[in-house]
Every structure is written in structure tokens, then in C-alpha cells.
Amino acid sequence: MHVVITRPVQDAEPFKTRVEELGCEVMLAPLADIEKEAIDADALVGATALIATSRNALAALAVSPALASAVKLPVFVVGSGTAAKARSMGFATIIEGNGKAEDLVPLLVANRQVGDRLIHLRGDVVAFDLEAALAESSVNVVPVLAYRAVAAETLPAHVIKALQTGGIDIVTLMSPRTARTWARLIAALLPPVQLTGVTYLCLSERVGEALGPLAKDSKVQIPSHPNIEEMLALVKRLAASSKAE
């Protein structure tokens, strides 16, 4: 199986290693470049808890002068990968969601005792408006920009060549923005490529929907839970099925 990983470079390598361990050949096609934003120490003044819906947000915090005070606070994280990053940074109180930002809403509402100034370390674009959702429950969340995701303008040449020759079986997509970027770059290819043999592994239904018309001509699979382990399980299943044919 030939698998394309579209994660940013800093996130792609660990995933690439694990996919290769399943016997797959992997190509990297980063569809975004992550640019950290400076988080000033005073950005967290008065904070009673933190929210991190991406490891990229925690990576920005890790090089911030605010880190020393931040790790003393409870942190609500979107899933297991973000939780592991938080532990590695020294956070002691970590409340973990089920993999999607919207899953944090009931957790945050149920944990009102953490106080009334929650800081959401976030990117410039988010798939789910956590602040608005929590405002409906009178939970005060203050957004702090931690990183920007700059969308790719072209696909790597070796990926384009593989698409033209039918040499790609699986494309992994982890966010709606990534899916939209992939669809945009595919639409711009000349001559057009045929993608009927491609299966898209999308982290969530929202990611699959972001492919738009592209999804109609291809197979789309969604893991049972929105995390890396379930994505790997899907790759393993497809690889085994391919070998059996």
C-alpha cells in the first residue's frame, strides 16, 4: 500500500514511522506549515485553567516565558496525543477529551470549579468554535493565538507524479482545513488526475465533508474514534485487505 501523509512536517515523521511498520510505503505531502506565535507571560495572568485543542498550541507554550506558571494550572486537552505532550511539558492536572474539540464542552461545563478565566491556546483557524459553544453555558473562555497554519500552495512533485500514475492507495487527512487544501490543490492539477482508486482516511466526518465533490469519486473512511491509534488501525485493515486480494 502506498500512503500519503498530509500532516505538517513536525507531526508527520512519528506517524510515518508507524505506518511504515505496517508494511506500507509512505510519501509526505505537508499541506500546512505551522508557525508558532509568541505567548507573552502576561497572556496567562489570572488564568484558572488552560485549554489546548492541538499539540501545536502546547509546542508554542513550551518555548514561552509563560510555561513556568502554566504547568501549575489544570489543562483540558482534546485527546491522547495532546495529553502526552502536556505530560512531557510538566503538567500535573490533565483532563482529556475523546479526540474532538466539541467533546470538551461537557467536560468544561461539568468542571466549573476550575474558575472563571479559561485560556484557550489555539490556532488562527479552528474547525469548531469552542468559545461560542461554551458562552451558551456561561463559561468564560479567553482565546490566545498560539500558532498559525499556513496552507500549502502546491503538492510535492513526487506526489503529483504518483497521482498521475495511479501510485497512491491511501491519503490521510486530519483536519477540515487540510481536506479543503488537498481538494483545492487536486483541482488545480493539469492535466487532471483520476482518483477512483484512492481511499481517504479522514479523522472525522467533518474532515470528510470538507473534501466536497472530491469525496463523491473516491472512498472515504472514518475511524471509530478521532485519534491516531484508530487511524493506524484503518491503515492496517486496508493493508491486510490489499494483501489478501
One domain for residues 61 and 101: yes
Average pLDDT over residues 229-234: 94
- Which residue pairs from 86-94 have beta carbons closer than 8 angstroms and sit at least 24 positions apart in sequence? 86/52, 86/58, 89/58, 89/61, 89/62
Estimate the crossing angle of helix 9-20 against helix 228-244, to 10 degrees: 40
Query: Of the candidates 127, 148, 169, which is a domain's last residue?
Result: 148
One domain for residues 12 and 108: no
Model confidence at 117, in pLDDT bands (50, 70, 90)? confident
Strand partners, 94: 75
User: What is residue 4's predicted lDDT score, i.e. its pLDDT?
Assistant: 98
One domain for residues 86 and 129: yes
Query: Of the candidates 148, 178, 205, which is a domain's last residue?
Result: 148
> What is the signed CA dihedral for 168, 25, 4, 9, rounded to 10 degrees?
-160
One domain for residues 45 and 142: yes
Task: Note down the domain range covering 220.
Answer: 2-32+152-244
Look up the CATH number of the domain holding residue 182: 3.40.50.10090
8 A C-beta contact, residue 121 and residue 50: yes
One domain for residues 173 and 239: yes
Average pLDDT over residues 32-50: 93
One domain for residues 100 and 16: no
8 A C-beta contact, residue 90 and residue 71: yes
Model confidence at 245, in pLDDT bands (50, 70, 90)? low
One domain for residues 166 and 222: yes
What is the count of structural domains for the chain? Answer: 2
DSSP 3-state of 96: strand
Query: Of the candidates 96, 117, 148, which is a domain's last residue?
Result: 148
Give the Cα separation of 72 and 131 in Å (integer).
Answer: 23
One domain for residues 169 and 235: yes
One domain for residues 46 and 141: yes
